[in-house]
Amino acid sequence: MEYEGLCRDDLDNVRALNRAWLELDGGAEQRLSVRRLERLAATPFLLFSFRERDDAWWSWLLGERRQQDMLEPQVAVTGELLQLQAAGIGFLWELARRNPYVARVVSGAPLSWCEQIAAETFVRVLDCAKFEMIEPRFAQGTSAQRRLLRRGGALERETRIFAQIGALQSMLTSCQVAQYERLPAAACRMPQTARQVAEEV
């Protein structure tokens, strides 16, 4: 099966979203220079997460939302954070519908999440953005986060690319693999049928 890879437009959108995230959150804390922030924003995946692997939370967000007390309190957001969340989830919704492979690469999301949001209307998905949903891609103080911040915005191109691609690999390989149930094979459980087929062959 052939997959269409990342295109320049996808990377430009990822960069713009990363820049907005760093200006809003990460850049202020790390006191990144403008040029270093721009280089770090060019990382080829989103530096923030939409909690793509939290199935219960997303089922609540996209459901009727009648059992809010079962989950942690949901915080409504406004201003720049709301704009970033709406732009980011809108971008991933469109990407999941057009090219779920790339959506998974830039967000680390499982296929089930991409299918879930792609099945919703754009308005329904945007409605979710009013709740606080984004968080840093890597937890504060982890080795992946430290390496990316220290070297992902480096002036030397080779150092920068190695750090960014290493972080991408870390994101894609450290996620929990979906647990697939064994497919039913009813005929194999019937010894008489299996024996009859073997005798005929």
* Rg of the chain in Å (alpha carbons): 21
The pLDDT of residue 109 is 92
Strand partners, 145: none
The pLDDT tens digits for 101-113 are 999 999 999 999 9
What is the pTM (predicted TM-score) of this model?
0.77
DSSP secondary structure, 52-78, as one string: TT-HHHHHHHHS----GGGSPPPPB--
Tokens of 90: 């809108």
Residue type, 85: Q
**d(C-alpha 166, C-alpha 143), whole Å:** 11
pLDDT (tens digit per residue) in 116-138: 999 999 999 999 998 888 989 88
Q: What does the alpha-carbon distance between residue 168 and residue 53 come to, in Å, rounded to a whole number?
A: 17
Contact 144, 170 (CB under 8 A): yes
pLDDT, position 65: 59
Residue 47 DSSP code:
S
